[in-house]
Amino acid sequence: MITLLVGTNRPNSRARRIANYYSTLLSELNAESQILDLAELPEDFIASALYANAGTNPLFNRLADMLDAGDKLVIITPEYNASFPGVLKAFIDGLPYPGGIRGKKTALIGLSNGGQGGLLAMTHLTDILMYLGSAVLPQRVRLPFIGKDLNQEDGLNQDLSRQLLREQAVALLAF
């Protein structure tokens, strides 16, 4: 099972739309996947699911269990203020330590409205994932100018974007 983690809690985010696209791509490659969308996090999870309250919030626990169910992970993250969204870091911090992400094989997809395509976000996230014991696939995909590339049908307008995502998915399956 491959878990597609939408790295923002923004409702109807572009990251979610890319997760939907990637899920279809994995289906075409005969791989099973599930989408873990941080938009489903309880609003108060920082107070109700972390630190002394670890393990007590059933909504947070359901998402953590989804993450635990897969051996491979794809994190689709937008770039917020030259990094990844704080809600993604808070979610990671709420996972059991040293478990949670340890031992997972992880692929990264970054997206932004600018030309960097989430490069800074993926760089910061790579450091954290490696510290936590996750193996990060070298084929990180940057999706720059996502507002122009992602179309109304949740497809991608650029051949290169589609090619890079397919190549990454194939590499992840072999990883």
State the residue for tokens 């932004």. 112
Given a contact cutoff of 8 angstroms between Cβ atoms, the answer to whether 88 and 52 are in contact is: no
Given a contact cutoff of 8 angstroms between Cβ atoms, the answer to whether 110 and 117 are in contact is: yes
pLDDT at 172: 98
What would the two tokens of residue 53 be? 């309250």
Domains with residue ranges and CATH for the chain: 2-174 (3.40.50.360)
**Which is nearest to 107 in space by CA: 63, 57, 168, 53?**
168
Given a contact cutoff of 8 angstroms between Cβ atoms, the answer to whether 79 and 13 are in contact is: no
Given a contact cutoff of 8 angstroms between Cβ atoms, the answer to whether 171 and 141 are in contact is: no
- Confidence (pTM): 0.96
**Cβ-based neighbours of 133, under 8 Å, separated by 6 or more:** 98, 101, 102, 103
pLDDT at 160: 97
| pLDDT by position in tens, the chain (length 175) | 999 999 999 999 999 999 999 999 999 999 999 999 999 999 999 999 988 888 899 999 999 999 999 999 999 999 999 999 999 999 999 998 877 899 999 999 999 999 999 999 999 999 999 999 999 999 999 999 999 999 999 899 999 999 999 999 999 999 9
pLDDT at 145: 97
Distance separating the N- and C-terminal Cα atoms of the chain: 13
CA 140 to chain CA mean position, Å: 12
